[in-house]
Amino acid sequence: MNIMKQQEATLVQRACAKVTGFKKLHKQLEKKIIVGGKSLSTLNNYMRCIAHVALHFNTLPSQLDIEQIEEYLLMVKKRNTTSSESFFKHTVYGLRFLFRCERRDARAIQLPTIKRDNKLPVILSPGEMKLLLKTPELLKHRVLLGVLYGCGLRCHEARSLLIKDVDFERNMLHVRQGKGKKDRYVPIGENLCRGIKAYLSSEVPHKWLFNGKDKHEGFSQKGVQWVVREATRKSGIQKQVTVHTLRHTYATHLLEEGLDIVSIKELLGHAHIETTMVYLHVAQLGRQTAFSPLDRLYQKR
């Protein structure tokens, strides 16, 4: 168990031990989240935040009035850090889920609305992507980066890949139980196929395409994040690159190469086309590439 999961477990355990009724509440929400098809990460995020509220007031959140909840959210908001923004968001979502489970929709509606982040994703250029892919010394890490970019996978999708999910005859990758519990197939491509074959022959992984330190377990989330972070650092790329940046870059490059937005939506496993439409704002499309008027200014005679 990694440090973050230990902290989450400890926090929930403390709330179960110190706050009357929290243990029962935890079991009820766990059942509803699992039955509702939400992920375990959602359960962890919600319960961690709800446990914080319960421990802060030493009572169940359902016993608090809206003024107390607003004061607590204001306290979180005033911290004004990146982590507190995420914590604020998950606290609101967790409380809203809790109140709706308890059929207190009026209280759920009183919670603040979380505005969607309108930031555009960071995209690597083809040259930067080539540089990133060749930077790691280990073949395993180069192939991992190739799969993340070449197939547009989310972090947990890459970590969950089994050797049997690679179909070399059809040059396809079977992505099992992605976001929303949906399966999909994505093309691998000849270059990536060769890379995966060389990696399998050299490393001989067991069961998982990318083993963790224990060959019976898949690569950890922190391990994947470290590979991307180290490759970025060593390559000298100055952009803020995360695992998801490679997925954004995959979609944008496909769009710029002429693939239609609906096909990209299916390859990414998006539930709604609106999610995919963001790439129209970052891809360089159209009959004429955008330019700076400053360049044209000095071209005139």
Which are the catalytic amino acids? Answer: 154, 179, 244, 247, 270, 279
Asked whether the CA dihedral 221, 224, 229, 230 is positive or negative, the reply is positive
Q: Are 171 and 189 in contact (CB under 8 A)?
A: yes
What is the rounded distance in angstroms from the CA atom of residue 280 to the CA atom of residue 285? 8
Instruction: Answer left, alpha or beta for residue 167, where phi above 0 means left and psi between -120 and 50 means alpha.
Output: beta
Q: Cα-flanking dihedrals φ and ψ of residue 238, to 5°?
A: -90, -10
